[in-house]
């Protein structure tokens, strides 16, 4: 069994390929065999997984069980495929999973790009400040000390202020970089809850996390309902997919309302799970019998909103860091040039 997992695009591509073959009337075992035989012998994760799946489906196991045996698919995909097989809607579920993981990849890439540029800019500013303190400012100071005489001693104050400004800015940015690195390591080491508590204190990051959690929940809910599950079971099975504690708390409260007899749309509206406009959309969809279509629409809107929030965060951070860079360089250059201007005036 392979220990490595497929990435989002790998899962999306597999589900789409399987969905197209199932739609064409090809049996699951034949479809797996075709996929396994079409892959080049590179020893990749998918190839190893397909080899296991081919063996299991030829023994008579279903697609979900074969995928589980391969060990390369996430639990959510396994649950969805199993539900699709039980409801006789495997083709529809496979295409939904393909879209879901493609959307997940898009959001992940957007977040990665949003973090990469500011991180690179932060490193650049720290390196520049270090060079200013270690090399540039001492060089100017040495030159001015050799040329003392007509230059007023107060002019050296500008250079000292440049030292102080660069040193304070450097310490501050190093502390910020250290906090970011510590948060990243904590996130990777399983201490995600602590990191989320810190991010919850920042309005923009809190909105991003909430929207991503709601996006994952709504997408999972739409898929579970499409697979034929009852609404209360679909909600309970979708809650773990949010991967964000504050949203999960709201969803648990929503499920309690459903146990009291409220419909899924009414419970969501009462708990203010969605924005008022989205909540009314869900109510209208439930009353008109178009719940699946409305959930699909809400999933798309939430994904778009996540992207907009990430862009807004980048739009704030990038100019801020660029401003710090220009301010640091500008003030430092002015500080070291003022004594030179004074010297030239004295000579003139």
Q: Are residues 282 and 226 in the same domain?
A: yes
Residue 69 lies in a domain: yes
Structure pTM? 0.71
**Dihedral (Cα; 248, 63, 103, 268), 10-degree rounding:** -30
Count CA atoms closer than 13 A to 344's CA, side-chain side. 5
- Domain range spanning residue 51? 8-73
Domain end position, chosen among 53, 73, 93: 73
Residue 94 lies in a domain: no
Which pLDDT score is estimated for 156? 59
Q: Are residues 277 and 326 in the same domain?
A: yes
Q: Are residues 305 and 247 in the same domain?
A: yes
- Do 107 and 303 contact (CB within 8 A), yes or no? yes
Q: Are residues 236 and 169 in the same domain?
A: yes
Distance CA(85)–CA(81), nearest Å, equals 6
Number of helical H runs and strand E runs in the chain: 15, 0
Residue 55 lies in a domain: yes
CATH of the domain at 204: 1.20.81.30
Domain end position, chosen among 27, 55, 73: 73
Q: Are residues 247 and 335 in the same domain?
A: yes
Residue 2 lies in a domain: no
Q: How many domains does the chain have?
A: 2
The predicted-structure confidence for 211-257, as pLDDT tens digits, reads as follows: 888 888 888 888 788 777 788 888 888 888 787 888 888 888 888 88
Q: Are residues 244 and 310 in the same domain?
A: yes
The predicted-structure confidence for 320-329, as pLDDT tens digits, reads as follows: 777 777 777 7
Residue 95 lies in a domain: no
Residue 87 lies in a domain: no
Q: Are residues 38 and 144 in the same domain?
A: no
Q: Are residues 217 and 122 in the same domain?
A: yes
Percent pLDDT > 90 in the chain is 1
Residue 91 lies in a domain: no
The predicted-structure confidence for 123-137, as pLDDT tens digits, reads as follows: 888 888 888 788 877
Residue 301 lies in a domain: yes
pLDDT band at 200 (very low <50, low <70, confident <90, very high): confident
Q: Are residues 308 and 187 in the same domain?
A: yes
């Amino acid at each position: 069994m392979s220990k490595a997992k497929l990435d989002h695009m790998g899962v999306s591509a597999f589900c789409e390929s399987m969905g197209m073959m199932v739609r064409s009337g090809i049996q699951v075992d034949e479809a797996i065999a075709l996929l396994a035989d079409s892959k080049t012998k590179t020893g990749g994760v998918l190839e190893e997984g397909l080899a296991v799946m081919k063996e299991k489906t030829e023994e008579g196991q279903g697609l979900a069980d074969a995928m589980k045996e391969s060990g390369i698919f996430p639990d959510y995909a396994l649950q969805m495929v199993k539900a699709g097989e039980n409801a006789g809607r495997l083709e529809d579920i496979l295409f939904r999973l393909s879209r879901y993981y493609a959307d997940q990849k898009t959001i992940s890439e957007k977040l990665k790009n949003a973090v990469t540029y500011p991180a690179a800019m932060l490193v650049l500013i720290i390196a520049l400040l270090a060079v200013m303190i270690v090399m540039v400012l001492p060089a100017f100071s040495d030159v001015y000390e050799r040329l003392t005489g007509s230059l007023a001693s107060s002019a050296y104050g500008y250079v000292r202020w440049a030292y102080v400004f660069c040193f304070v800015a450097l310490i501050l940015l190093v502390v910020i970089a250290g906090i970011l690195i510590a948060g990243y390591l904590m996130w990777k080491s399983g201490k995600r809850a602590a990191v989320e508590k810190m991010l919850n204190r920042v309005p923009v990051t809190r909105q991003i996390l909430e929207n991503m959690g709601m996006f994952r929940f709504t997408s999972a809910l739409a898929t579970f309902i499409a697979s034929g599950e009852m609404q209360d079971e679909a909600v309970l099975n979708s809650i773990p997919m949010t991967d964000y504690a504050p949203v999960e708390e709201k969803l648990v409260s929503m499920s309690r309302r459903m146990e009291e007899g409220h419909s899924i749309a009414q419970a969501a509206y009462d708990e203010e799970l969605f924005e008022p406009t989205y909540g009314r959309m869900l109510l209208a969809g439930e009353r008109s019998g178009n719940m699946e279509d409305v959930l699909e629409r809400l999933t798309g809107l939430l994904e778009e909103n996540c992207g907009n929030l990430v862009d807004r965060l980048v739009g704030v951070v990038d100019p801020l860091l660029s401003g710090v860079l220009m301010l640091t360089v500008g003030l430092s250059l002015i500080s070291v040039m003022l004594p030179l201007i004074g010297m030239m005036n004295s000579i003139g």
